[in-house]
Amino acid sequence: MTLLLIVLIQKQHTVQGNTSTPGLPAMSQIPMPALSSSGFSLTKEHFLVAVPVAVVAAVGGFLVSHYLSGRGCKKGQVNTCISKDSPKVVHSFDMEDIGTKAVYCRCWKSKKFPFCDGAHAKHNDETGDNVGPLIIKKKDA
């Protein structure tokens, strides 16, 4: 803004035949920094400072992003031990064989899988999850 004001004042005085502004140095007298042909130069000292700073910034960014991504839901295997040699764990039951009620595990932690043994309670306490069993009852006729 100041430079623009100086340029405008100089143009006004130049138009009026005045080549200098009272109280302000002429534009040719203002020292300008010398720039290399590309406009940017990096000395060895600058490089030795810039590289460690860049490395620290990159490592810091990685650690922060890693920390923040670990705070959300973690994707992983639900089934950690049941029929791992099988490509898919499937259990099928006939409704007639169930009796009046069947309780099935949905947390994959039961020692009696596919039936629930209450292992989800410990799982929920440890993980903050809220999983429970699947309960199937026959309707009274």
The pTM of this model reads 0.43
Q: What CA dihedral angle connects 80, 84, 89 and 94, to 10 degrees?
A: -100
Q: Region 111-134: what's the mean pLDDT?
A: 89
Break the chain down into helix, strand, coil percent, rounded to 5.
40, 5, 55
Task: Quote the mean pLDDT of the chain.
Answer: 75
Look up residue 105 and give its two tokens.
């595990």
Among 3.30.450.20, 3.40.50.300, 3.40.5.90, 1.10.10.10, what is the CATH number of 77-141? 3.40.5.90
88 classed as catalytic: yes
Partner residues linked to 135 by β-bridges? 103
* pLDDT value for 31: 60
Q: Is 99 within 8 Å of 133 (Cβ atoms)?
A: no
Active-site residue, from 74, 84, 88, 139: 88
C-alpha 136/C-alpha 33 separation (Å) is: 83
The pLDDT of residue 6 is above 50: no
